[in-house]
């Protein structure tokens, strides 16, 4: 390396160092954008049942003139009732997909690049606002620490590009908090107009954020400042008024149009969760302590949780709203891990603030800086190993790619899902098949090929008659294929869709996850070996 090259390298490093010291948010946002772009491109699929079947599939069907889940009252003549989900987030996807269709973008995977990109851009609000809050209370050093964690924490980029209501509701909650904190805004009455709207948007996305909104309202009402009681009452009044107006404009108006009464879905949602509270994953009251302690990576997670709870009185506005949300989910029986995601940025931000304040006065940690440095070194090594792996993981690959394969088959009429080794059948993500008029035939241990054939003989519509079959899972694969070919002798193998390597790992860790290999065959349902008893019918 010659002298000029050494000089240029030194200048670049010096410029980065100076930028990190003077304008760290620029580098933090750049890192957040970079890793999220990687996730947009490579992290395909869906993470949970809800981000596919309660968001993407309904929205995609509405664009094509079909009501996938009958959420729009499509089965009113059959006394179909509201099922409880908010239509706000699927509605946002509807307008995105509607625009893409108008622009001629029809390929499901191409559409998803755009949607993941929009979700990634939306998540940057969390990074920027989290940095600003941490810097405001703790200075630039704490701002850098919190901002970097929100930008490149190992699971954040991947989840940020998913269609999860738990992630989409975070930016408006962060904005509402920042507006209430920012000294340039917090004394203006108009600020609480926007805070109410932000909290209303979060509620329309995820109903449970009402607990956060209630906690924030209490803080605004009772916090100690130079303003009079009447001023605080006016702030809370405008906050509450705009929150209700935003909720009524979405939940009330939409439900009135569809169901003829306001808040039909919201009341149905409450009733559904009460009726099915014991039918979902449950755990002890401290379950979410374990979740937060795990995903934030111990021992650093323990330091952040300590900082968060230690600061409850001094920084009540950061602590109480998120804690109300946390307490509700800890008490309610249904404890799925993703439910607590909206709290994560607040634990990170307040955890960094509280821990660093404690650190500055702790004699023990001042005498053991090497131990703390070792903790952070361990954290960042694990995080930087997991980050590229998780940010590029293709979740539920076999299900998505099998549907996308069918999308590419121009002769596709309908398809079967064959899992006769099970009592139920894996749900297919129809968005990737690109057609809502399919009526997948499901063959399980409860529904035989013969029963399905006898039903299809009564259906004149050829769209119901399948010409592709998907065998899910390796269990008894050869026996199941042989039984199918005995019934449909001209069934011909087409392709095999393998799960991603991380899908396999997740399945091994928890076999409840269905991420099996899919074997696709093509057949003609007019060529069939019927039992003699059926032939005589």
The full DSSP string for 65-114 is T--TT-TTSTTGGGT-------SHHHHHHHHHHHHHHHTT---HHHHHHH
pLDDT of residue 260: 82
pLDDT tens digit at each of 537 positions of the chain: 555 555 555 577 787 888 888 889 999 999 999 999 999 999 999 988 899 999 999 999 999 999 888 888 754 444 567 777 889 999 999 999 999 999 999 999 999 999 999 999 999 999 999 999 999 999 999 999 999 999 999 999 999 999 999 999 999 999 999 999 998 888 888 999 999 999 999 999 999 999 999 999 999 998 876 567 788 889 999 999 999 999 999 998 988 888 888 888 888 888 888 777 666 767 788 999 999 999 999 999 999 999 999 999 999 999 999 999 999 999 988 888 899 999 999 999 999 999 999 999 999 999 999 999 999 999 999 999 999 999 999 999 999 999 999 999 999 989 999 998 887 788 899 999 998 888 888 888 888 888 888 888 787 776 678 999 999 988 889 999 999 999 899 999 999 999 988 777 776 666 666 668 999 999 988 878 777 665 545
Per the structure block, which two tokens stand in for 284? 């002890």
Please state the pTM of the whole predicted model: 0.93
Q: How far is CA 55 from CA 43, 129, 184, 537, in A?
A: 18, 26, 37, 45
Q: Which residue has the tokens 């996807």?
A: 93
Under DSSP, the state recorded for 465 is S
> Comparing C-alpha atoms, which of 11, 202, 258 is closest to residue 88?
202
**Residue 240 host element (H or E):** helix 229-247
pLDDT of residue 408: 95
Half-sphere exposure of 171 (CA within 13 A, CB side): 15
In the chain, what is the greatest distance between 2 CA atoms, to the nearest angstrom?
A: 93
Around Cβ 355, how many Cβ atoms within 10 Å?
26
pLDDT of residue 273: 80
Torsion of CA 48, 149, 380, 322, to 10 degrees: -70
Sign of CA dihedral 330, 301, 220, 313: positive
Order across the sheet with 415-419: list the strands.
441-444, 415-419, 468-472, 518-522, 492-497
Nearest 5°: the CA angle 340, 342, 344 is 80
pLDDT of residue 172: 98
Torsion of CA 230, 233, 238, 239, to 10 degrees: 140
pLDDT of residue 226: 54
Q: Is the separation of the CB atoms in 415 and 466 below 8 Å? A: yes
pLDDT of residue 268: 84
**Residue 256 host element (H or E):** helix 253-259
> Comparing C-alpha atoms, which of 510, 511, 503 is closest to residue 398?
503
pLDDT of residue 4: 58
As a whole number of angstroms, the distance between CA 81 and CA 450 comes to: 33
Mind listing the pLDDT tens digit for each residue in 346-376? 999 999 999 999 999 999 999 999 999 999 9
Q: Is the separation of the CB atoms in 315 and 137 below 8 Å? A: yes
Per the structure block, which two tokens stand in for 397? 């690959």
> Comparing C-alpha atoms, which of 166, 177, 161, 92 is closest to residue 128?
177
**Residue 182 host element (H or E):** none
As a whole number of angstroms, the distance between CA 513 and CA 254 comes to: 35
Nearest 5°: the CA angle 213, 215, 221 is 100
Around Cβ 381, how many Cβ atoms within 10 Å?
10
pLDDT of residue 77: 46
As a whole number of angstroms, the distance between CA 270 and CA 249 comes to: 20
User: Pairing mode, if any, of strands 468-472 and 415-419?
Assistant: parallel
As a whole number of angstroms, the distance between CA 342 and CA 326 comes to: 9
Domain positions in the chain = 24-168, 397-535
Nearest 5°: the CA angle 242, 164, 408 is 130
| C-alpha distance across the termini of the chain, in Å | 87
**Residue 317 host element (H or E):** helix 316-331
Q: How far is CA 27 from CA 151, 154, 195, in A?
A: 10, 18, 28
Q: Is the separation of the CB atoms in 498 and 399 below 8 Å? A: no
As a whole number of angstroms, the distance between CA 68 and CA 430 comes to: 9
As a whole number of angstroms, the distance between CA 20 and CA 27 comes to: 7
Per the structure block, which two tokens stand in for 246? 């935003």
As a whole number of angstroms, the distance between CA 51 and CA 92 comes to: 13
As a whole number of angstroms, the distance between CA 348 and CA 305 comes to: 8
pLDDT of residue 76: 46
Per the structure block, which two tokens stand in for 415? 């398809």
């Amino acid at each position: 390396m010659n002298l000029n090259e050494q000089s240029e390298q030194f200048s670049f490093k010096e410029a980065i160092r100076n930028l990190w010291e003077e304008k760290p948010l620029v580098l933090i946002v750049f890192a957040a954008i970079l890793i999220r772009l990687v996730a947009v491109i490579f992290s395909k699929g869906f993470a949970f049942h809800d981000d596919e079947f309660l968001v993407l599939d309904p929205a995609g069907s509405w664009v094509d003139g079909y009501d996938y889940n009958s959420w729009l009252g499509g089965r009113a003549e059959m006394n179909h009732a509201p099922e409880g989900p908010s239509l706000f987030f699927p509605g946002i996807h509807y307008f995105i997909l509607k625009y893409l269709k108008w622009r001629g973008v029809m390929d499901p995977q191409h559409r998803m690049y755009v949607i993941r990109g929009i979700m990634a851009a939306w998540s940057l609000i969390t990074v920027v606002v989290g940095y600003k809050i941490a810097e405001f209370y703790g200075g630039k050093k704490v701002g850098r620490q919190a901002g970097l964690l929100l930008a490149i924490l190992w699971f954040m980029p991947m989840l940020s590009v998913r269609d999860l209501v738990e992630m989409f509701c975070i930016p408006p909650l962060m904005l509402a908090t920042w507006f209430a904190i920012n000294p340039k805004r917090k004394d203006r009455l108009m600020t609480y107009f926007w805070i109410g709207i932000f909290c209303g948007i979060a509620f329309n996305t995820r109903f449970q954020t009402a607990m956060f909104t209630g906690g924030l309202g209490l803080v605004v009402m009772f916090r100690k400042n130079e303003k009079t009681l009447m001023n605080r009452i006016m702030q809370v009044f405008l906050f509450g008024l705009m929150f209700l107006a935003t909720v009524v404009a979405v939940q009330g108006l939409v439900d009135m149009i569809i169901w003829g009464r306001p808040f039909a879905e919201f009341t149905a949602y409450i009733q559904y969760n009460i009726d099915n509270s014991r039918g979902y994953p449950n755990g002890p009251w401290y379950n979410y302590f374990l979740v937060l302690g795990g995903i934030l990576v111990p021992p650093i997670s323990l330091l952040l949780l300590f900082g968060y709870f230690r600061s409850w009185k001094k920084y009540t506005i950061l602590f109480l709203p998120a804690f109300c949300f946390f307490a509700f989910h800890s008490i309610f029986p249904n404890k799925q891990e993703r439910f607590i995601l909206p709290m994560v940025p607040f634990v990170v931000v307040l955890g960094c603030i509280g821990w660093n304040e404690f650190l500055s006065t702790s004699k023990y940690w001042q005498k053991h800086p090497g131990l703390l440095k070792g903790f952070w070194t361990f954290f960042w090594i694990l995080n930087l190993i997991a980050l590229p792996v998780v940010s590029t993981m293709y979740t539920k690959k076999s299900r998505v790619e099998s549907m996308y394969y069918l999308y590419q088959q121009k002769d596709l009429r309908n398809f079967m899902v064959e899992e006769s080794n099970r009592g139920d059948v894996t749900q297919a993500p129809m968005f990737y098949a690109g057609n809502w008029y399919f009526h997948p035939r499901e063959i399980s241990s409860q529904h035989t090929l013969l029963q399905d054939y006898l039903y299809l003989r009564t259906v004149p519509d050829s769209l119901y008659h399948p010409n592709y079959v998907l065998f899910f899972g390796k269990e008894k694969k050869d026996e199941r294929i042989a039984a199918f070919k005995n019934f449909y002798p001209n069934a011909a193998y087409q392709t095999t869709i393998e799960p991603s390597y991380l899908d396999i790992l997740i399945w091994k860790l928890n076999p409840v996850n269905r991420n099996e290999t899919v074997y696709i065959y093509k057949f003609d349902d007019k060529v069939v070996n019927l039992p003699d008893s059926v032939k005589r019918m």
